[in-house]
Amino acid sequence: MTTLYTIDGCIKCFQAKRYLQEQGIPFQEINILKVPEAIPELKETAGEVVTPVLHDEATVLIGLNILNYKQSIH
């Protein structure tokens, strides 16, 4: 499952979410302001608490690097 960590009011988060939707890439969004218990997982995944972060089995992308994401086909 592809996970996108976001926060409210973040333009980069909005752009990342819109990109994934436009590309037809399924993802689970976790807003760390609404689900603060996900913060330790985000910190472990990205090395810091930052948004947006996209994480799948093989990839961790931060910020607008998400706009280059291509879903791997398994």
pLDDT digits (tens, 9 = 90+) for 5-31: 999 999 999 999 999 999 999 999 999
pLDDT of residue 74: 45
- Mean pLDDT (the chain) is 94
Tell me the pTM: 0.93
Whether 52 and 5 have beta carbons less than 8 Å apart is answered as: yes
> Which residue is associated with the tokens 């994480």?
55
Whole-number CA gyration radius for the chain: 11
Whether 19 and 33 have beta carbons less than 8 Å apart is answered as: no
